[in-house]
Amino acid sequence: MQFELSNEYRERFQEAVNGRDVEFIQQSLTGINPADISTLLYEFNAEDSKYVLDLLPSEVKAEIINDLDEDIRERFLKSFEPGEITEIVNHLDSDDAVDILNELSVKEREEVIAGIDNSEKEANILDLLRYEEDVAGGLMAKELIKANLNWTVVQCIEEIRRQAENVQKVYSVYVVDNEGKLLGRVSLKRIILADDKTKISDIYESDIISVETYMSEEEVAQIMSKYDLDAVPVVNVQGKLLGRITIDDVVDVITELAEEERNIMSGIAGDVEEDDSVWDLTKARLPWLIVGVIGGFISAKFIGVFEEELMRITAIAFFIPLIQATGGNVGIQSSSIVVQSLANPSVFGGSMFKRLGKVLLVAIINGLVLSLMVYGFNLLTGGEGNLSIIVSMALFFVVLIASFLGTVTPILLNKVGFNPALASGPFITTTNDLLGLAIYFYIVHLLI
């Protein structure tokens, strides 16, 4: 059912929690999606939230905790005993269980693992803990259904039934040889339509896309997005099937990467939320603000170098904001387009000179249009003809250079291993401000 968190319901729910009204809490949450319950619990402190969770079935409790944001969940789990966390882990897939275990201290982690009563789940979790969180091995879940190449359809169906409790979503059955090497996959449709005695070797598809354990989460996300996959198998360097990554895990990765790039483009370092501490928010925002202040200070000193020109024609100061704003806007436009394109590696497969030539042509057209607009506006408002020419010429060259920098900078940052989104934030804005002023005053100096 559709859940709406109204102020009236929140107030009534708070009263029920304060009064320990078990009946209302359980009845009002019956049939509600766990993700919606997670949203509701964000409104309450850890103690009240834990009280509510303890009234819900274990499966629902586990799914709710799994849905919580990492930083909130990490604080939230401090209210739980190791035995309670073990109960949660027992109802999660191995990859989700490992995410929670990585947020605990080493002592708590060992106590939780020791309490797991399913030896297969324990082995799967221990296997996944050795992988870094940001690679395919750390994203994959061990729960999957695989069939031997030499099995019959009946044997395959028996395996599906045996694993039905462990594997919540069955997208396809993976086919392996006697050594466990991935050979392909077979769809459920083919299994259902095939004769009972048909061998898997006769109906499986060998053209399967897989990823290796060491591949980065960005590469995995790109592959699944490119080929529109609901799940992708994970193999080791020998080609043996180890696990699978499902689309829900990749959506989380894409969301995290998008948030990271948005923060960087906004001049915020690190992953922060509005409800973080004052110190965390200050740490995240201050570095790039300092860069901006330093850039502004350099600009002020730079303008001082041309004090003589400013004294002779004070009107040239009126156009400084125009030059800086236009250069910054052009640079951000160019870099933003390139950063988006870099998400698709094939975009930059062609000639770099061809791409730069295209950028130059666009910049020339934009520069001419903007320069003519400024020149015409100056003449219409009674501006001096010579100054109008100077401003228009400076603006034209600022647009050219800002477009070039906005295009090249993210590509270079990507080549040397830095996040190209850096080029769409204060970095490119500050650089273009300084270059814009340099071009403007140099042209003024030459012509005066």
Residue 222: inside a domain: yes
Residue 42: inside a domain: yes
Residue 138: inside a domain: no
Query: How far is residue 346 from each of residues 92, 136, 223, 274, 351, measured CA to CA in Å?
Result: 37, 21, 12, 37, 12
Domain that holds residue 353: 278-447
Closest residue by Cα to residue 254 from 288, 295, 222: 222
Taking only the tens of pLDDT, the chain with its 448 residues reads: 556 677 888 888 889 888 998 898 888 888 888 888 888 888 788 888 888 988 998 889 999 898 888 778 888 888 889 999 999 999 898 989 998 999 898 899 999 999 998 888 899 999 999 999 889 999 999 989 999 999 999 999 998 888 877 787 888 899 999 999 999 999 989 999 999 889 999 999 999 999 999 999 989 988 998 888 989 999 999 999 999 998 888 887 877 777 766 666 665 555 655 556 667 667 666 776 777 777 777 777 777 776 776 666 677 778 888 888 888 788 778 877 777 676 655 544 455 667 777 878 888 998 899 989 988 888 888 767 777 888 888 889 888 888 888 888 888 777 777 666 665 566 677 777 788 888 888 887 777 6
pTM reported for the whole predicted model:
0.66
| Same-domain pairing of 284 and 430 | yes
| Among candidate residues 256, 290, 317, the one where a domain is terminated | 256
| Same-domain pairing of 342 and 426 | yes
What is the C-alpha separation between 94 and 139, in angstroms, rounded? 10
Backbone angles phi, psi at 292, to 5 degrees: -65, -40
CATH number at residue 294: 1.10.357.20
| Same-domain pairing of 420 and 290 | yes
What is the C-alpha separation between 21 and 19, in angstroms, rounded? 5
Q: What angle do CA 325, 316, 431 make, to 5 degrees?
A: 35
Please provide the distance, in angstroms rounded to a whole number, between the alpha carbons at the two ends of the chain: 74
Place of tokens 């080549």: 415
| Same-domain pairing of 227 and 298 | no
Closest residue by Cα to residue 333 from 391, 264, 405: 405
Residue 261: inside a domain: no
Identity (one letter) of the amino acid at 404? Answer: F
| Same-domain pairing of 298 and 412 | yes
Please, are residues 193 and 156 in contact by the beta-carbon 8 Å criterion?
A: no
Closest residue by Cα to residue 265 from 331, 347, 362, 345: 331
Please tell me the total count of domains within the chain: 3
Residue 140: inside a domain: no
| Among candidate residues 103, 133, 163, the one where a domain is terminated | 133
| Same-domain pairing of 284 and 428 | yes
| Same-domain pairing of 200 and 244 | yes
Residue 170: inside a domain: yes
CATH number at residue 50: 1.25.60.10
For the CA atoms of 384, 385, 386, 391, what is the dihedral angle to 10 degrees?
A: 80
